[in-house]
Amino acid sequence: MLVSLIHRCLLLLICILWAGFAGCVIIPTPEHALLEGRGKIEEADMAFLEKARTTREDVLLRFGEPDLVLDHDHILVYHWAVSHGYWFVGAGYSGAGGLIPKDYLFMLEFDDVGFLKRFERTGTIWTSAETRLDKWTPPGIEKTPSVSRESFMIDPAPQAHAKPARSDVPGMPVRFRMGEFCYRGADSGSTNLIGHKVAAFGVIVADVRTYRPFIDTVRSAITAQLETAGHHLVDRGPDVIITGDLAKFGVTTSISLSSWDAIGSLDITVKFHSSSNPHDLLMRRYQLKHVSKTVLGPSKKDFEQVMRACMEDMQKKMASDAELAEMLRSKTR
């Protein structure tokens, strides 16, 4: 206990001295807050393991499916991360800080008939999982490029559509058709990946993906709003054709001294074209952002919530847009 206390005091002293020169402070803490993975595997949980007696099936029944399988099912790898301290840079409004993750690997190797040959549990804040795997596994075996990380699959489609702000919906509804919607974002090759859950030092702990292409989700939200306003979606003979350029549809995270937040952003330009007059065009740009504050890190629900809120705000802006309402009214037959 005394040695541990002296060790912590020395670490704190080093951090304080570092702060004087570099403006950065690192404060170690006892491990807490699961940041990644399905759960911790403690030393006590491994007590039942015996070389040449414990089978692969025993391990799977105890710990569940592994995060990584190597060497044709001979090696199982379990992966998780916990918070092991905090870092701070600067002070006041210009300061920043966050959690320091400690990354764990629990690796087990089995022989050809499925009996345990060896196992090891390692945890570090400095060495990557890939480096430890390379040192532990024999050369020449089949390897996966990286330890798999969690994936949040979300469906951010609005549950309730914004209602018109006024009761002057045209008596004759507009017939509208949804034209081409293009994604102009930085990663135009992805149709489902919308961002990541990021921990301290930029460590990605989870991917955030939509069940269907996110551009379809935005189109559906616009369609639903117009139908709620009393207009009709058609394939032929439309009064108005609607197209769009999607610049951003995504999530990110922000870590401060008191919270670990989910941030959702939507940036889209929607164009309402008159089918009878190509020069009759109304353009609207919707730039929206929502934040969900959390203590232990954003969940799937938080990411879903911020993106749904962005689209609901877009719907509300459409519903209260008097110029848009006037254009649609003028196109009724």
Full DSSP string of 125-183: SSS-HHHHHHHHSPTTS---SS---EEEEE----SSPPPPSSS---SS--EEEEEEEEE
Contact 59, 76 (CB under 8 A): yes
| Domain C-terminal end among 109, 130, 148 | 148
Same-domain status, 32 and 160: no
Shared-domain flag, residues 131 and 209: no
* In a domain? residue 5: no
The domain boundary residue, chosen from 148, 170, 189 = 148
If asked whether residues 261 and 315 sit together in one domain, one would say yes
Query: Are 97 and 195 found together in one domain?
Result: no
Report yes or no on 8 lying in a domain. Answer: no
Question: For residue 143, what are the domain limits?
Answer: 21-148
Residues 182 and 323 in one domain: yes
Assess whether 155 and 244 both reside in one domain. Answer: yes
Domain membership of residue 39 (yes or no) is yes
Is residue 11 in some structural domain? no
Contact criterion met (CB below 8 Å) for 286 and 266: yes
115 and 143 assigned to the same domain: yes
174 shares a domain with 124: no
- The domain tally of the chain equals 2
Q: Is 290 part of any domain?
A: yes
49 neighbors 102 (Cβ within 8 angstroms):
no
Residue 253 sits in a domain whose CATH number is: 3.40.50.10610
* Residues 159, 56 share a domain: no
Burial of 316 (0-12, 13-18, 19+ CB in 10 A): middle
Q: What is the pLDDT along the chain (333 residues), one digit of tens a residue?
A: 333 333 444 444 444 444 444 456 677 778 777 777 778 999 999 999 999 999 999 999 999 888 788 888 899 999 888 887 776 655 554 555 567 788 899 999 999 999 999 999 999 887 777 778 878 876 666 555 445 567 889 999 886 555 555 445 545 789 999 999 999 876 656 678 999 998 766 778 888 999 888 999 999 999 999 999 889 999 999 999 999 999 999 999 998 877 899 999 999 999 999 988 878 899 999 999 999 999 888 999 999 999 999 999 999 999 999 999 998 888 765
**Domain for residue 25, yes or no?**
yes
Does residue 249 lie in a domain region?
yes
The predicted structure's pLDDT at residue 309: 96
- State the angle between helix axes of 300-319 and 214-228 in degrees (0 to 180), rounded to the nearest 10: 40
Q: Residue 171 falls within a domain, yes or no?
A: yes
Among 148, 182, 198, the domain boundary falls at 148
DSSP class of residue 200 equals G
Q: Is the domain of 33 the same as that of 85?
A: yes
Q: Are residues 134 and 245 in the same domain?
A: no
Give the C-alpha separation, 119 to 132, whole Å.
13
User: Same domain for 103 and 201?
Assistant: no
